Amino acid sequence: MTGLYIGLMSGTSMDGVDAVLVDFTSPQPKLIASHSEPMPEHLFKGLQRLCQPGTDEINRQGRLDRTVGQLFAKAVNALLTKSGVSPLQVSAIGSHGQTVRHMPSLDTGFTLQIGDPNTIAVETGIDVIADFRRKDVALGGQGAPLVPAFHQEVFASEDKVRVILNIGGIANITYLPGDRSRVLGFDTGPGNTLIDYWIQQHRQLAFDEDGEWAASGQTDPELLQQMLSHAYFAQNFPKSTGRELFNQAWLEHQLAQYSHLKDEDIQSTLLDLTCHSIANDVLKLASSGELYACGGGALNSELMRRLSTLLPEYKITCTAEIGVDPKWVEAIAFAWLAMRFEQGLPANLPAVTGASRQAVLGARYPAA
């Protein structure tokens, strides 16, 4: 067994698969190589459709499960080619999968990720560790977020209050007060999902680069307060959310009385929804400290500027300052989760997810 692991991540934004090759032989994970495999348009549309209740779901899910698995395998093989590393040198692949339903708060809660790990294992020749979330749900937890355990391991500092903010499609925070027993983490609400959707619909762009379009608009205070009044934002943690709640239908309902607003004003308001919901939750945890951002939203300079205004007592920067490229943090976390499985070590934090106990997460899918 080597210290090399591959992590695969495709988040709520569904814009592609992030693949990383990581060396865990030292206390600080070392990123050896990285690769992003774009999501083909037809697959993106198929996944979006599957995320909404509809007809013929089982057949569509079965086909997409295999297709997403093939895309993940393609990302791994491109990563191996780029790095010059043989499949035999890699201990295992940690695959998050693509979430298509996340409903842990039902009477019988569940979370569902697709991207057949058997397909990944066969097409790469590497054992796959996958299905990380459902053990936590079986133990009464939310199954999310799982990255706070990794954040604690890599980013915690005994003498400092730190918040790790991951801004993907959904935003989540990890609170690291320097005391392991008090680590907290949860989803704050929308990250990029609504601002991406709005610019895709109105300007046919994949995302709002540097928040330039949002910066050209004026936030509508009434619309912002209406959206912030949603019960999720007042809910106590543990909590997690996704496209099941913050989606096109929810947004259209919110905008029903605001058709007079300019498109760029709505974009600005949606960006403020992300920023205010994050800042409100951060301030509930501590009035000052250090905040390190990662995920795609960390590269949005207008988002980061507005967040700095809302959190004046925080030092705000990205995780590169403490040793990990912000673009790859989540993918590295799933490589780490695969390593924890291999070592028989627990990987969830019950204070974060609400599970009844710690547990080893995931299942092995052998290549042989």
The residue to which tokens 């066969």 are assigned:
122
Q: Is the pLDDT of residue 1 over 70?
A: no
Q: Is 287 annotated as a binding residue?
A: no
Span 295-317, pLDDT tens digits: 999 999 999 999 999 999 999 99
Domain ranges in the chain are: 4-143+328-365, 147-322
**What is the structure's pLDDT at 182?**
83
Question: What pLDDT was estimated at residue 15?
Answer: 87
17 annotated as a binding-site residue: yes
Using alpha carbons only, what angle is made at residue 9 by residues 32 and 197, rounded to the nearest 5 degrees?
130
Q: Return the structure tokens found at 265.
A: 């004003």
Residues 268-291: tens digit of each pLDDT = 999 999 999 999 999 999 999 999
Q: Would you state the torsion angle of the CA atoms of residues 223, 166, 77, 59, taken in this order, to the nearest 10 degrees?
A: -50
> Does 12 carry a binding-site annotation?
yes
Q: Where would I find the H helices in 286-322?
A: 301-310
211-227: pLDDT as tens digits: 999 999 999 999 999 99
Contact 219, 272 (CB under 8 A): yes
Closest C-alpha to 258, from 283, 292, 224: 224
CA distances from 176 to 11, 181, 361 (A): 23, 10, 22
Q: How far apart are CA 194 and CA 199, in angstroms?
A: 9
Distances, alpha carbon 349 to alpha carbons 155, 186, 254, 308, 333, in Å = 15, 11, 34, 29, 14
The type of residue at 86 is: S
> pLDDT value at position 13?
84
Q: pLDDT > 70: what percent of the chain?
A: 99
Do 147-322 and 4-143+328-365 fall under one CATH topology? yes
d(CA 295, CA 303): 12
Among candidate residues 264, 259, 268, 328, the one with its CA nearest the CA of residue 299:
328
Q: Is 11 annotated as a binding residue?
A: yes
Do the beta carbons of residue 94 and residue 117 sit within 8 Å?
no
Homologous superfamily of 147-322: ATPase, nucleotide binding domain (3.30.420.40)
Tell me how far apart the alpha carbons of residues 192 and 172 are, in angstroms, rounded to a whole number. 12
Asked if residue 13 belongs to a known ligand binding site, the reply is: yes
Strands 289-294 and 162-167: parallel
State mean pLDDT over 129-152: 96
pLDDT in tens, 176-200: 998 766 899 999 999 999 999 999 9
Residues 7-40 have pLDDT tens digits of: 999 988 888 999 999 999 998 899 999 999 999 9
What is the distance between the alpha carbons of residues 188 and 154, in angstroms, rounded to a whole number? 22
One-letter amino acid for residue 343 of the chain? Q
State which CATH number among 3.20.20.80, 3.30.9.10, 3.30.420.40, 3.30.1280.10 fits the domain covering 4-143+328-365. 3.30.420.40
From 188, 167, 107, select the one nearest 330 (Cα to Cα). 167
Q: Show the tokens assigned to 318.
A: 């990205």
- Over pLDDT 90: what percentage of the chain? 92
Q: Which two tokens stand for residue 85?
A: 């590393």
Residue 363's pLDDT is: 98
Alpha-carbon span 97 to 94, nearest angstrom: 9
Largest CA distance in the chain: 61
Which of 278, 3, 328 lies closest to 165, judged by CA?
278
Give helix then strand counts, H and E, for the chain. Answer: 14, 13
Cβ proximity of 345 and 24 under 8 Å: no
